[in-house]
Amino acid sequence: MAEVALRNVVKKYDDVLAVANINLDIPNHEFVVLVGPSGCGKSTTLRMIAGLEEITGGEISIGGEVVNDLPPKDRDIAMVFQNYALYPHMTVAENMSFGLKLRKFPKSEIKARVENAARILDITELLARRPKQLSGGQRQRVAMGRAIVRNPKVFLFDEPLSNLDAKLRVQMRTEIKRVHQKVKTTTVYVTHDQVEAMTLADRVVVMNGGKIEQIGAPNELYHSPKTRFVAGFIGSPAMNFIPAKLEANGSLMLRLSDSLSIPVPASRASRYQGYAGKDLLFGLRPEHITDTRNRDGGNGHEFTVTLDVVEPMGMETMVFFKIGNTEVCARVEPTAAKRSGEQMTLRANLDHMHLIDPATNLVL
């Protein structure tokens, strides 16, 4: 078994608190992604699991064994780095087998493991080449193969796709997911790219300022964020946040500007009733503000705005406009989009709305 558990883990650099008392349980075979902006503590957390950083406080266990004092080589983990870290004078096969040779594995077993990993990654025909003869994506496959042959308890990925171009990043994302389906090893993966996190993970751990903001399945984080940070970080383009006042005039209404107020769906009235009269933030994703032809059922409210910027993107068009002093983004059908400076009627799907208390940044 290869469960990974972090208990009250703290990391300080002098007086700087990099990781603040985090707790995390990763079951056997699970693919967990740590995601967040630069400096949030995600890479430091991964390096503490690997043993490349000493922990200041708390406990880390792998497979039920506390590994706080174990060096990296004794933790039975394999790490894939951002820069591949391949030996340029060795062939692909030699790079993949080097760690096994150091551990005195029999030649027959080394050969079998390398060939098996090469088949999984579709790099069999590359085994005799050297790294300089490979593309970026092929080098990344070799780095993954070097980890797979180890047959470790845990795979650790530290932003492995950051050096690739956008198209290759998408291909490798699919490749990593395919490999995990074949080699069901417990995996901890670090990225700043929330699209990577959403597409790869069984569960996503969103980190901010050295703390865990929320842990959940990708769809849970998208549809049910618990904090403003998670709501704004997950999803692309980011969720719109509009200052609003909750008014109770017979029914609950959200006042977004002098000229625009929208009704709160009856199904949410009891949840929000106690916040009447308060200043809140109204959150709604661009994909839930559409043209009026896109009637997706549910509680919709139509309103008319003057467009500031129109961005055609092929299969969809992004339109930007102001509500009060706040810029808002909507996603519309390309054929429905008006031009900049023209008025357009849009439809907000209020079944997907969120209200946030600005005093606590918690989603109500």
Under CATH, which architecture does the 240-363 domain have?
Answer: Beta Barrel (2.40)
Mean pLDDT, all residues of the chain: 90
User: Percent helix, strand, coil in the chain (nearest 5)?
Assistant: 30, 35, 35
For the chain, give the percent of residues with pLDDT over 90. 54
* Segment holding 17, helix H or strand E: strand 16-26
Res 8: pLDDT = 95
10, 56 contact by CB (below 8 A)? yes
Convert the pLDDT of each residue in 3-17 to its tens digit.
Answer: 999 999 999 998 889
Dist CA 296 CA 293 (whole Å)? 9
What average pLDDT score do residues 281-296 get?
Answer: 87
Convert the pLDDT of each residue in 50-70 to its tens digit.
Answer: 999 999 999 999 998 999 989
Residue 45 clears pLDDT 60, i.e. is over it: yes
| Reported confidence tier of residue 18, pLDDT bands at 50, 70, 90 | very high
Res 1: pLDDT = 57
Convert the pLDDT of each residue in 251-283 to its tens digit.
Answer: 888 999 888 889 988 888 888 888 888 899 999
Distances from the Cα of 127 to the Cαs of 23, 108, 131, 137, 176, in angstroms? 41, 16, 10, 15, 19
| Reported confidence tier of residue 295, pLDDT bands at 50, 70, 90 | low
Under CATH, which architecture does the 4-229 domain have?
Answer: 3-Layer(aba) Sandwich (3.40)
**pTM score of the predicted model:** 0.88
3 state SS of 51: coil
Extract the tokens encoding 161: 């796709």
156, 72 contact by CB (below 8 A)? no
Query: 10 Å Cβ neighbour count for 308?
Result: 13
Convert the pLDDT of each residue in 183-233 to its tens digit.
Answer: 888 999 999 988 899 999 999 999 999 999 999 999 999 999 999 999 999
What average pLDDT score do residues 17-29 get?
Answer: 93
Domain boundaries, the chain: 4-229, 240-363
Closest CA to 84 of 159, 169, 188, 149: 159
Same fold, 4-229 and 240-363: no
Residue 343 clears pLDDT 90, i.e. is over it: yes
Res 296: pLDDT = 64
| Reported confidence tier of residue 168, pLDDT bands at 50, 70, 90 | confident
Extract the tokens encoding 318: 């992004």
53, 158 contact by CB (below 8 A)? no
Dist CA 68 CA 9 (whole Å)? 10
What average pLDDT score do residues 160-181 get?
Answer: 82
Residue 292 clears pLDDT 90, i.e. is over it: no
27 vs 164 pLDDT, higher one:
27
Q: What does the longest C-alpha to C-alpha distance in the chain come to?
A: 80
Closest CA to 346 of 121, 158, 310: 310
